[in-house]
Amino acid sequence: MNIGTLYGISVGTGDPELITVKGLRLLQKAEIVAFPAGINQKPGIAEQIIAQWLRPEQKTIALNFPYTKDESLLHQAWQQAAKEVWQYLKQGIDVAFACEGDVSFYSTFTYLAQTTQQYFGEVPIITVPGICSPMAAASELQIPLTVSYQSLKILPATYSWEDLEQALASSDVVVLMKVNAVYQKVWQILQRRGLLKFSSLVERATFSDRRIYNDLTDYPNLQLSYFSILIIRVNKT
Protein backbone atom coordinates (compact mmCIF):
# COMPACT_ATOMS: atom_id res chain seq x y z
CA MET A 1 0.00 0.00 0.00
CA ASN A 2 1.27 3.46 -0.92
CA ILE A 3 0.66 5.55 2.19
CA GLY A 4 0.62 9.34 2.09
CA THR A 5 2.81 11.47 4.32
CA LEU A 6 1.45 13.36 7.32
CA TYR A 7 3.20 16.73 7.49
CA GLY A 8 3.27 18.83 10.64
CA ILE A 9 3.87 22.38 9.46
CA SER A 10 4.68 25.15 11.92
CA VAL A 11 2.90 28.34 10.85
CA GLY A 12 3.97 30.83 13.52
CA THR A 13 2.09 32.49 16.32
CA GLY A 14 -0.26 34.85 14.52
CA ASP A 15 1.45 36.85 11.78
CA PRO A 16 0.88 34.91 8.51
CA GLU A 17 4.39 35.83 7.34
CA LEU A 18 6.01 33.91 10.20
CA ILE A 19 6.22 30.67 8.24
CA THR A 20 9.33 29.18 6.68
CA VAL A 21 9.82 28.95 2.94
CA LYS A 22 9.81 25.16 3.27
CA GLY A 23 6.64 25.20 5.36
CA LEU A 24 4.84 27.41 2.85
CA ARG A 25 5.93 25.25 -0.06
CA LEU A 26 4.68 22.04 1.55
CA LEU A 27 1.48 23.69 2.76
CA GLN A 28 0.56 24.90 -0.71
CA LYS A 29 1.61 21.62 -2.32
CA ALA A 30 -0.66 19.44 -0.15
CA GLU A 31 -3.99 18.33 -1.55
CA ILE A 32 -5.45 18.09 1.97
CA VAL A 33 -4.82 20.69 4.68
CA ALA A 34 -5.92 20.02 8.25
CA PHE A 35 -5.91 22.20 11.36
CA PRO A 36 -7.54 22.33 14.81
CA ALA A 37 -11.19 23.35 14.68
CA GLY A 38 -12.17 26.68 16.21
CA ILE A 39 -14.62 27.20 19.05
CA ASN A 40 -18.35 27.76 18.43
CA GLN A 41 -18.06 27.15 14.69
CA LYS A 42 -15.55 30.00 14.31
CA PRO A 43 -12.27 29.61 12.39
CA GLY A 44 -9.42 28.34 14.55
CA ILE A 45 -6.16 30.24 15.05
CA ALA A 46 -4.08 28.11 12.68
CA GLU A 47 -6.83 28.26 10.07
CA GLN A 48 -6.85 32.06 10.25
CA ILE A 49 -3.07 32.22 9.96
CA ILE A 50 -2.87 30.13 6.79
CA ALA A 51 -6.06 31.33 5.08
CA GLN A 52 -4.29 33.71 2.69
CA TRP A 53 -1.76 31.07 1.63
CA LEU A 54 -4.20 28.31 0.58
CA ARG A 55 -5.24 27.62 -2.99
CA PRO A 56 -8.99 27.42 -3.81
CA GLU A 57 -8.75 23.80 -4.94
CA GLN A 58 -7.21 22.54 -1.69
CA LYS A 59 -9.52 20.60 0.62
CA THR A 60 -9.47 21.67 4.28
CA ILE A 61 -10.35 19.61 7.35
CA ALA A 62 -11.06 21.05 10.80
CA LEU A 63 -10.14 18.47 13.44
CA ASN A 64 -11.69 18.63 16.87
CA PHE A 65 -9.22 18.89 19.76
CA PRO A 66 -11.25 19.90 22.86
CA TYR A 67 -9.89 22.20 25.54
CA THR A 68 -10.10 19.76 28.43
CA LYS A 69 -7.92 17.80 30.83
CA ASP A 70 -10.25 14.79 30.69
CA GLU A 71 -7.94 12.05 29.41
CA SER A 72 -10.75 9.88 28.04
CA LEU A 73 -12.23 12.77 26.03
CA LEU A 74 -8.80 13.72 24.72
CA HIS A 75 -7.99 10.17 23.61
CA GLN A 76 -11.36 9.93 21.84
CA ALA A 77 -10.65 13.18 20.01
CA TRP A 78 -7.15 12.06 18.99
CA GLN A 79 -8.49 8.75 17.68
CA GLN A 80 -11.23 10.47 15.69
CA ALA A 81 -8.75 12.97 14.22
CA ALA A 82 -6.39 10.13 13.28
CA LYS A 83 -9.23 8.30 11.54
CA GLU A 84 -10.10 11.40 9.54
CA VAL A 85 -6.59 11.95 8.21
CA TRP A 86 -6.12 8.21 7.63
CA GLN A 87 -8.97 8.25 5.12
CA TYR A 88 -6.66 10.24 2.84
CA LEU A 89 -3.29 8.83 3.87
CA LYS A 90 -4.35 5.26 3.04
CA GLN A 91 -5.10 6.41 -0.52
CA GLY A 92 -1.55 7.71 -0.88
CA ILE A 93 -2.65 11.32 -0.42
CA ASP A 94 -0.45 13.62 1.67
CA VAL A 95 -2.03 15.61 4.50
CA ALA A 96 -0.51 18.84 5.81
CA PHE A 97 -1.46 19.74 9.38
CA ALA A 98 -1.04 23.45 10.13
CA CYS A 99 0.29 23.91 13.65
CA GLU A 100 0.22 27.25 15.45
CA GLY A 101 3.65 28.15 16.78
CA ASP A 102 6.22 25.38 16.50
CA VAL A 103 5.20 21.80 15.79
CA SER A 104 7.40 20.37 18.56
CA PHE A 105 6.47 22.86 21.31
CA TYR A 106 3.37 21.84 23.32
CA SER A 107 1.78 20.98 20.00
CA THR A 108 -1.49 19.24 19.16
CA PHE A 109 0.26 17.69 16.17
CA THR A 110 2.32 15.48 18.49
CA TYR A 111 -0.81 13.65 19.64
CA LEU A 112 -2.21 13.41 16.12
CA ALA A 113 1.01 11.92 14.74
CA GLN A 114 1.48 9.47 17.62
CA THR A 115 -2.13 8.29 17.53
CA THR A 116 -2.10 7.88 13.75
CA GLN A 117 0.98 5.68 13.90
CA GLN A 118 -0.37 3.78 16.90
CA TYR A 119 -3.56 2.75 15.12
CA PHE A 120 -2.51 2.64 11.47
CA GLY A 121 1.12 1.56 11.49
CA GLU A 122 4.22 3.23 10.14
CA VAL A 123 2.66 6.31 8.59
CA PRO A 124 5.40 8.60 7.24
CA ILE A 125 5.68 11.72 9.42
CA ILE A 126 7.60 14.85 8.45
CA THR A 127 7.71 17.98 10.62
CA VAL A 128 8.74 21.50 9.67
CA PRO A 129 9.99 23.70 12.54
CA GLY A 130 8.97 27.29 13.05
CA ILE A 131 8.60 30.13 15.54
CA CYS A 132 7.17 29.33 18.97
CA SER A 133 5.51 31.80 21.33
CA PRO A 134 8.39 32.53 23.76
CA MET A 135 10.59 33.64 20.86
CA ALA A 136 7.74 35.65 19.34
CA ALA A 137 7.05 37.33 22.70
CA ALA A 138 10.71 38.27 23.15
CA SER A 139 10.68 39.77 19.66
CA GLU A 140 7.60 41.82 20.48
CA LEU A 141 9.34 43.10 23.61
CA GLN A 142 12.51 43.85 21.62
CA ILE A 143 14.64 41.96 24.11
CA PRO A 144 16.87 38.89 23.88
CA LEU A 145 15.26 35.88 25.52
CA THR A 146 18.65 34.81 26.89
CA VAL A 147 22.23 36.04 26.63
CA SER A 148 25.64 34.61 27.42
CA TYR A 149 25.39 31.84 30.02
CA GLN A 150 21.86 32.60 31.23
CA SER A 151 19.67 29.60 31.93
CA LEU A 152 16.07 29.42 30.75
CA LYS A 153 13.09 27.59 32.23
CA ILE A 154 9.72 27.33 30.44
CA LEU A 155 6.64 26.21 32.36
CA PRO A 156 3.18 25.40 30.95
CA ALA A 157 -0.05 26.69 32.44
CA THR A 158 -0.47 23.52 34.49
CA TYR A 159 2.72 23.99 36.49
CA SER A 160 2.58 23.68 40.28
CA TRP A 161 3.47 26.57 42.54
CA GLU A 162 6.42 24.53 43.81
CA ASP A 163 7.74 24.25 40.24
CA LEU A 164 7.41 28.00 39.77
CA GLU A 165 9.18 28.83 43.03
CA GLN A 166 11.98 26.41 42.13
CA ALA A 167 12.34 27.88 38.65
CA LEU A 168 12.54 31.42 40.02
CA ALA A 169 15.18 30.31 42.51
CA SER A 170 17.36 28.45 40.02
CA SER A 171 16.97 30.10 36.58
CA ASP A 172 18.05 33.40 35.06
CA VAL A 173 14.97 33.70 32.83
CA VAL A 174 11.57 32.09 33.38
CA VAL A 175 8.80 31.92 30.78
CA LEU A 176 5.24 31.11 31.85
CA MET A 177 2.95 29.80 29.11
CA LYS A 178 -0.78 30.57 28.97
CA VAL A 179 -0.70 32.37 32.28
CA ASN A 180 -4.22 33.82 32.06
CA ALA A 181 -5.93 31.47 34.54
CA VAL A 182 -3.34 31.94 37.29
CA TYR A 183 -2.12 35.48 36.65
CA GLN A 184 -3.19 37.05 39.95
CA LYS A 185 -1.46 34.35 42.00
CA VAL A 186 1.67 34.66 39.88
CA TRP A 187 1.61 38.45 40.32
CA GLN A 188 1.61 38.00 44.09
CA ILE A 189 4.61 35.65 43.93
CA LEU A 190 6.51 38.10 41.74
CA GLN A 191 5.65 40.95 44.10
CA ARG A 192 6.99 39.00 47.07
CA ARG A 193 10.21 38.26 45.22
CA GLY A 194 10.65 41.83 43.96
CA LEU A 195 10.43 40.75 40.32
CA LEU A 196 7.47 42.75 39.01
CA LYS A 197 9.71 45.45 37.50
CA PHE A 198 11.63 42.77 35.65
CA SER A 199 8.59 40.95 34.26
CA SER A 200 6.89 41.54 30.92
CA LEU A 201 3.71 40.09 29.48
CA VAL A 202 2.68 39.69 25.86
CA GLU A 203 -0.89 38.82 24.97
CA ARG A 204 -1.53 37.36 21.49
CA ALA A 205 2.05 37.83 20.28
CA THR A 206 2.39 38.85 16.60
CA PHE A 207 -1.38 39.19 16.14
CA SER A 208 -2.61 42.60 14.98
CA ASP A 209 -4.43 43.08 18.31
CA ARG A 210 -1.51 42.08 20.54
CA ARG A 211 -1.02 43.78 23.89
CA ILE A 212 2.27 44.34 25.68
CA TYR A 213 2.83 45.06 29.38
CA ASN A 214 6.29 46.02 30.61
CA ASP A 215 6.84 46.22 34.39
CA LEU A 216 3.81 44.56 35.99
CA THR A 217 3.88 46.64 39.18
CA ASP A 218 0.67 48.47 38.30
CA TYR A 219 -1.13 45.46 36.77
CA PRO A 220 -2.24 43.09 39.55
CA ASN A 221 -5.62 42.21 38.03
CA LEU A 222 -5.21 41.88 34.27
CA GLN A 223 -7.94 39.95 32.46
CA LEU A 224 -5.96 38.03 29.89
CA SER A 225 -6.75 35.83 26.91
CA TYR A 226 -5.61 32.22 26.63
CA PHE A 227 -2.60 33.15 24.50
CA SER A 228 -0.57 35.09 27.08
CA ILE A 229 3.17 34.75 27.70
CA LEU A 230 4.99 36.05 30.78
CA ILE A 231 8.76 36.56 30.65
CA ILE A 232 10.53 37.04 33.98
CA ARG A 233 14.14 38.25 33.99
CA VAL A 234 15.21 36.84 37.35
CA ASN A 235 18.84 37.77 36.77
CA LYS A 236 18.52 41.53 36.22
CA THR A 237 22.06 42.03 34.99
> Per the confidence metrics, is the pTM higher than 0.85?
yes
Q: Is the pLDDT of residue 113 over 80?
A: yes
Q: Quick one: CA torsion of 36, 139, 181, 16, rounded to 10 degrees?
A: -20
CATH number for 133-233 (one of 3.40.50.11030, 3.40.50.970, 3.40.50.620, 3.30.950.10): it is 3.30.950.10
pLDDT for position 157: 67
Tell me which architecture the domain covering 6-128 has in CATH: 3-Layer(aba) Sandwich (3.40)
Q: Side-chain half-sphere of 176: how many Cα atoms within 13 Å?
A: 30
pLDDT for position 158: 66
Question: Quick one: what percent of the chain has pLDDT higher than 90?
Answer: 84
pLDDT for position 186: 94
Q: Quick one: CA torsion of 106, 178, 15, 74, rounded to 10 degrees?
A: 40
Q: Which helix (H) or strand (E) holds 83?
A: helix 71-89
pLDDT for position 149: 93
The answer to whether 119 and 30 are in contact (CB under 8 A) is no
Question: Quick one: what percent of the chain has pLDDT higher than 70?
Answer: 98
Q: Where are the domains of the chain?
A: 6-128, 133-233
DSSP collapsed to 3 states, 162-178: HHHHHHHHHCCEEEEEC
**Cα–Cα distances in angstroms (integers) from residue 109 to residues 21, 62, 123, 129, 196, in the given order:** 20, 13, 14, 12, 35
The answer to whether 156 and 135 are in contact (CB under 8 A) is no
Q: Is the pLDDT of residue 237 over 70?
A: no
Q: What is the pLDDT of residues 20-56, one digit of tens each?
A: 999 999 999 999 999 999 888 788 999 999 999 999 9
Q: What is the pLDDT of residues 131-168, one digit of tens each?
A: 999 999 999 999 999 999 999 999 986 668 888 999 99
